[in-house]
Structure 1
Amino acid sequence: MNTSRMQRHVLVAATLVAAVATAGSLYFRHGMGLFPCELCWFQRIFMYPLVIVLGVAAVENRVAVYRTVLPVAAIGWLIAAYHSYAQVAGDSLMCSSFCATIQYQFFGVLTIPNLSLIAFSMILVLVGSLAFEARRTAAETTDPERVGSD
């Protein structure tokens, strides 16, 4: 499989992760009636745009989108990590909604903030691999020792 095609697959996979996370949060709110707390809102602010940004990048095969996605996903990851920690520690400073009283769980361990943390982690790994590959390729093409050696 050529590099361009693999990069597109990575972008599509990251788009699907963001889309599933977005659909899941909308289902929790509108399907189940669970009101998001402040930390949930902040996570949504950083997840929702990723669906559009990654989707457009996948269609256009724009690998350089990592420059936009990585900072946004990293901030969302930090918020989700704090939210997951706050649930375990019982810190309800910013978590004043159902998260403070109800930990909606999947399989006994995955709460909504944990699911968000997993989604942001997956996006960071997928898009981070694109950034790593892009930088490696750029370094190879500008390496003075490689110029003229082919």
Structure 2
Amino acid sequence: MNKMDIKQFSLYIAWLISVIATLGSLYFSEIRGFVPCELCWYQRILMYPLTLILGIATFQNEFTIKKYVLPITIIGSSISLFHYLEQKVPGFAEIKPCTNGVPCSTEYINWLEFITIPFLALTAFTLITIIMVVTKIPQNEN
């Protein structure tokens, strides 16, 4: 396996993570009937396009995509972390970014007492960020 195969594989993994996160989000809302809160919507707005962007980049071998993906994943990670802290840290629950609909502190799932939907989104955004940072852009190979 040469370096190009490994780089292509890393893009594929990032794309696969975004697909799983998107399908998981749709599963929770459309099949399980969980109504997304305001912060969940912001996370969706950032994750869903990654599926398309990373998919195209993977199949076109476009390694320079990181300059477009990293801002999205860093903002998504920040929102997910804030949302997770709002659910798990009592002091953060007093900050009320969600003014309409479902409260952002609502925990639809709480697997192993720490895995919530924002935690899953944070994990996906963080993994994609790490993959984008670690994957080096190939130099002009002639």
TM-score, length of structure 2 as denominator length? 0.88
Consecutive unaligned residues in structure 1, runs of 5 or more = 142-150
Matches within 5 A, 1:32-71: 32-71=32-71
Moved segments of 4+, more than 4 Å:
none
Separation (CA, whole Å) in 2 of partners of 1:111 and 1:81: 11
Separation (CA, whole Å) in 2 of partners of 1:59 and 1:41: 28
**Superposed CA offset, 1:58-95 (max 9, x none):** 00111000010001111101100111111112416124
Q: Secondary structure at the match of 1:49?
A: helix
Consecutive unaligned residues in structure 2, runs of 5 or more = none
Query: For the Cα contact (< 8 Å) 1:4–1:61, is it kept in 2?
Result: no
Matches within 5 A, 1:88-103: 88-90=88-90, 91=93, 93-95=96-98, 97=102, 99-103=104-108
Separation (CA, whole Å) in 2 of partners of 1:102 and 1:71: 27
| 2:88 is equivalent to residue 83 of structure 1 | no
Query: For the Cα contact (< 8 Å) 2:73–2:125, is it kept in 1?
Result: yes
Query: How many residues align structurally?
Result: 135
TM-score, length of structure 1 as denominator length? 0.83
Structure number with greater Rg is: 1
Partner AA of 1:4 in structure 2: M
Shift of 1:3: 1.5
Q: Secondary structure at the match of 1:107?
A: coil
**How much is the aligned-residue C-alpha RMSD, in angstroms?**
1.7
Shift of 1:99: 4.4
Separation (CA, whole Å) in 2 of partners of 1:44 and 1:114: 13
**Superposed CA offset, 1:100-146 (max 9, x none):** 2334122332000011100001000111112xx22xx65xx8xxxxx
| 2:118 is equivalent to residue 125 of structure 1 | no
Query: For the Cα contact (< 8 Å) 1:34–1:98, is it kept in 2?
Result: no
Higher helix share: 1
